[in-house]
Structure 1
Amino acid sequence: MAEYRWHWTDLRDARAAYLHRVTEPLRRRIVEGRTSVGLALALGATLIMWASGFVGVSVAVAAYSPGNLALLRFGIASAVLFVWLLCKNGRISLPQKSDLSRLALVGLFGVPLYHLPLNAGQQVVSAGVSSLLVATAPIFTAMVAGVVLGERVSRRTWCGISVAFAGTALLVLSLAHGHPLAVPPQALLILIAALAFAGYIVTQRPLVQRYG
């Protein structure tokens, strides 16, 4: 078998292929005139709310503990979603009993294991750096999916993961001014949150396919 030699263009091509796969469906809808103004506004609102979430957490942790903040966020969100589902469907559909254990695991990954470390970390780490550290979640997702689901991780993906981890290491070291032993533990908490989010994504996949 011929020896494989990596070149930086492999990473460039992998990035281009990924962006094409992600953006092509939306681009096709725009070209065909099937993208509504409502969809565009929804996408824009989602991006703004996701980005502003880190800023909001940085402000809120000055007044609330990490646990209280998570409880307030999800208490309000749960109440709003409950009312919205009742108004939309007239009832709340219960999940299958066989899915209860997976739902519990999804809830564990998605709420306490993600938000508690994130909130605690943002007591020290800025919103901008926190968002970049949480952005490592897709890297962890690829690794977890490879281990748990047996999904194949290509060489190009591993190259991308290596580059991303190198960038993350530089970012974390910058918080310690170049001294590895001085890395704030709050930065590591945010990386734990990113890992928990990866577990959340992987475990919820069959539930999303079943319940939407």
Structure 2
Amino acid sequence: MPVPSAAHPPASSSAPGPTPSSVPPRPSHPALPWLAALLVMIMWASSFVVIRAGGADFSPGAMSLLRSGSAAVVLLPLALLGRVRMPRSPRLWLGVIGWGVAWFAAYTIVLNAAELLIDAATAAMLVNVAPLIVAVASGLLLREGLPVRLVAGILVAFGGIALITVATSSGRVSGAGLLLGLLAALLYAGSVLAQKTLLPHVDSTSMTVVGIVAGFLACLPFAPALIGELAEASAASVVTVVYMGVFPTACAFLLWGYALTSTPAGVLSSSSLIVPGITVAMAWIVLGETPPPLAALGGLLCLVGAGSAVAPSVLAALRRPAGPVPATGSPAGRVPR
């Protein structure tokens, strides 16, 4: 859950602000961050399809432990190959560890618990309040701006999510489940903003690896529950959770950190609003689940709204020359408007 400031303020009084040498280079092609974001959205959408196909035999904490553990194992070679650089100060360490615990432990446990009380469609709608929170917070606190087109696109996409929810929800609702869903949205939004402020001081690969390991360690108290549940779980459920750890967690968050390094947090986060639309399409193609007309319309609105929100930034990025950012250039992570 994340937020950078006006010119990416230092994560602590002891951490140096971005210098010309610490400003991340532009990608070799300006479309690469947006291609990375698209791959992230596809992987995140696939997790919903995989969960429905494989089912779940795990309690919230045990599922988060297996998921984060699978991600940590996949990322271990990066540490062994020296691709992980440790944070430079105690405050940066605390920031990255806190981010990892919030994203990869607290968020996943809260969301898993919410889906025990409300159906997946309602949970997805609640969680997707997060992009609006990120857009407003990054516009006001990080000075990324709050264009009318961005807000309008987010609202249109959220309307599509609401239609999908109405069409596919089982109607199972509880007050505690709604509160947990909203808490998950706040954890999501806070993590995106926190990551954005930390990225000028920690490279995205190192931050992802350290954060996932921190989330895994925070979930270790659930190890006894996981051991007992593994003995009873079906192979399909185990594969489902491991898949979520390898692809929607490890691979997706490496790509997400890379994309967030060179794009505004509010705009990038709003791109996640296409996930419900992609999920509807993937369930139709992969599982043969023909969407109700209202859900199909909602999926289309998700794509249109999110596309409208991110299109100006994508087009601006494509007009930029590739190559390193000049020392006098704009702050890291800002996309010229």
Corresponding residue to 1:62 among 33, 56, 63 = 56
1:20 is matched with none
Aligned CA RMSD, in angstroms, stands at 3.8
Q: How many residues align?
A: 171
| Cα distance in 1, alignment partners of residues 145 and 106 from structure 2 | 26
Correspondence list, 1:133-144, <5 A = 133-144=126-137
| Cα distance in 1, alignment partners of residues 49 and 130 from structure 2 | 19
Using structure 1 for the length normalisation, give the TM-score.
Answer: 0.60
| Higher alpha-carbon deviation: 116-125 or 75-84 | 116-125
1:76 partnered with 2:70: yes
Corresponding residue to 1:53 among 44, 47, 55 = 47
| Cα distance in 2, alignment partners of residues 55 and 124 from structure 1 | 19
Counterpart contact for 1:54–1:130, Cα < 8 Å: no
Counterpart contact for 2:121–2:165, Cα < 8 Å: no
Using structure 2 for the length normalisation, give the TM-score.
Answer: 0.41
State the AA in 2 paired with 1:195: L
1:184 is matched with 174
1:149 is matched with 142
Correspondence list, 1:1-212, <5 A = 25-26=30-31, 46-57=40-51, 62-87=56-81, 89=82, 92-97=84-89, 98-123=91-116, 125-127=118-120, 130-131=123-124, 133-164=126-157, 175=169, 183-185=173-175, 186-210=177-201, 211-212=203-204
User: Which structure has the higher relative contact order (CA within 8 Å, separation 6+)?
Assistant: 2
Structure 1, unpaired ranges of 5+: 1-23, 30-39
1:13 is matched with none
State the AA in 2 paired with 1:94: M
| Cα distance in 2, alignment partners of residues 171 and 189 from structure 1 | 20
Q: C-alpha deviations, 1:43-74, integer Å up to 9, x for none?
A: 88645432222234456773111011111111
Structure 2, unpaired ranges of 5+: 1-28, 205-337
| Cα distance in 1, alignment partners of residues 166 and 178 from structure 2 | 10
Pick closer, same or farther for the CA change 1:57–1:47 going to 2, 3 Å. same
Displacement of 1:138 after TM fit? 1.9
Pick closer, same or farther for the CA change 1:44–1:206 going to 2, 3 Å. closer
SS at match of 2:200: helix
Pick closer, same or farther for the CA change 1:118–1:52 going to 2, 3 Å. same
Q: Percent identity at matched positions?
A: 34
Q: C-alpha deviations, 1:87-137, integer Å up to 9, x for none?
A: 3x2x74221123122113312331233111221233355555655554443
